[in-house]
Homo-oligomer: A and B are copies of this chain.
Amino acid sequence: MATIEDRLAVLEARLQAAEDQLAIIRLIASYAPAVDSGANHAAAALWVEDGVYDVGGLTRAVGRDGIAARIDLNQDLAARDRGYGHLLTTPRITLQGDAAEAVNYSFAFTRKERDDRWELDRASANHWRLARTPEGWRVVERFNRLMDGAPISRETVGRGVGP
């Protein structure tokens, strides 16, 4: 028969795991609003200080300043269009104590000056490594690859899938 102490300890550990998942869902759901509102430094603050954003194999931004600069570039590109929006899907999260990993997709839509129509410009796979810090969960590395059928894309989205 479990004692009250045992039951409290189990509840505290289980609740921590539920809270961790909700915090990571919220962290990743914060990226698109930060970027699309032009708050590139707020977006970069989702990472740990020396975090990494590996963007499509083209850029490997390191540190919050580097990540904010990389996001600025995206903003400039988006500004050429008449509309834009990022869509990030709910991550599949795997907790490992004070670390975690997550996999999701990101989609970038823009509205073209050509014909006023919205188009999907990029569909990407993302593998996120995360860490619990004194300020809460933060991104250690976001590894992003276009879903272009290349082996690395399949491998990225498939990380952690399976038994």
A residues contacting B by CB (< 8 A) are 4-5, 7-8, 11-12, 14-15, 17-19, 21-22, 25-26, 29-30, 32-34, 36-39, 42, 45, 78-79, 81-93, 103-105, 107, 109, 111, 117-123, 125, 146-149, 154-155, 157-158, 160-163
Given contacts A157-B37, A161-B42, contact A15 B14 (CB under 8 A): yes
How many copies of this chain sit in the oligomeric assembly?
Answer: 3
Given contacts A33-B157, A157-B37, contact A15 B11 (CB under 8 A): yes
Residues of B within 8 A of A42 (CB): 161-163
Residue of B nearest to A37 (CB): B158
Distance from A67 Cβ to chain B, minimum over Cβ atoms (Å):
15
